Amino acid sequence: MPKPDIYDLRITPARADLAASSLRGTVKATHYADAQDMQVCVSLAPLYGAPDATTMLQTELLLGERFDVYEQKNDWVWGQARRDGYVGYMPTNKLGALANAPDHRISALRTPVFATPDLKAPILGYVHENSIFMCAGKEGRYLKLAPDNGWVFAKHAAPLDAIVADWVSHAQAYLGAPYVWGGRSSFGLDCSALVQNALQAGGIAAPRDSDMQEKALGKAVTIQGDLSGLFRGDLVFWKGHVGIMLDGKMFLHANAHHMKVVHEPLSEAVARIKKTTGAITAIRRL
């Protein structure tokens, strides 16, 4: 089994009894398996660290995202998300066979899915920002989700390669969204998902967790004692936490103190977080 100090088990599809075939010769396991490429077929699919829905949520996958399955057992699958590499267990009924390649993404924070292309039609559910789908047709102001998953308002979607010009403004659209550990949608999300979602909309790939983001994103900025010299879009990190500078002083983050996404002076956040978590560990500039 991979050693935690060498392999990050959050993003390494390996257990003592089973590992991805691609890791053969690198990671020791009893068995190896090839990936079965599958696709999320629901609006939000939970990913857990064990095949047990009463355990802590690790993250969520969105409609259309691909998932490499290495094991199916007792109504659960174990595998790895294609978008950010996260490994875990998911209920089997959240996945379907790989369909036609997506060509659109949801650009609104969330949007209703209508049974027919009519604003008065029954609502089948909601899909969330950065969900991806193949457009199976257009009628009036609505796009059809392939293969037969309903209709969404066309202005709440965009071509897959379209990106927002200002990802920070996009992050601000989440103001007031509930804080949910492991969440990735406006129904509820955590600090690193806020950053990941906003960057994704801006065409910038980001890891899932804050410590991964601290290592992977941008360039280091010197931390000044008076918190000066910061700019819009700078990412501020603590151990287990991250947020986004809106300008030189105001700070946006999803946090468990307010239990929602808020903006506040960075100085206030620093003073409060220092009491429980410690000092800022890094500031990164994209």
Cis peptide upstream of residue 51 (ω within 30 degrees of 0) = no
Of 97, 116, 133, the last residue of a domain is 97
Shared domain for 220 and 257, answered yes or no, is yes
Shared domain for 122 and 69, answered yes or no, is no
The CA angle 98-140-118, to the nearest 5 degrees, is 80
Helical (H) or strand (E) element with 172: helix 167-172
Shared domain for 178 and 239, answered yes or no, is yes
Shared domain for 175 and 145, answered yes or no, is no
Give me the tens of pLDDT residue by residue for the chain, a chain 286 residues long. Answer: 334 445 899 999 999 999 999 999 999 999 999 999 999 999 999 999 999 999 999 999 999 999 999 999 999 999 999 999 999 999 999 999 988 799 999 999 999 999 999 999 999 999 999 999 999 999 999 999 987 789 999 999 999 999 999 999 999 999 999 999 999 999 999 999 999 999 999 999 999 999 999 999 999 999 999 999 999 999 999 999 999 999 999 999 999 999 999 999 999 999 999 999 999 999 999 9
Shared domain for 280 and 183, answered yes or no, is yes
Q: What is the pTM of this model?
A: 0.95
The CA angle 80-83-89, to the nearest 5 degrees, is 25
User: Looking at residue 91, which CATH number applies to its domain?
Assistant: 2.30.30.40
The total of structural domains in the chain comes to 3
Shared domain for 254 and 194, answered yes or no, is yes
Of 159, 180, 197, the last residue of a domain is 159
Is 237 inside any structural domain? yes
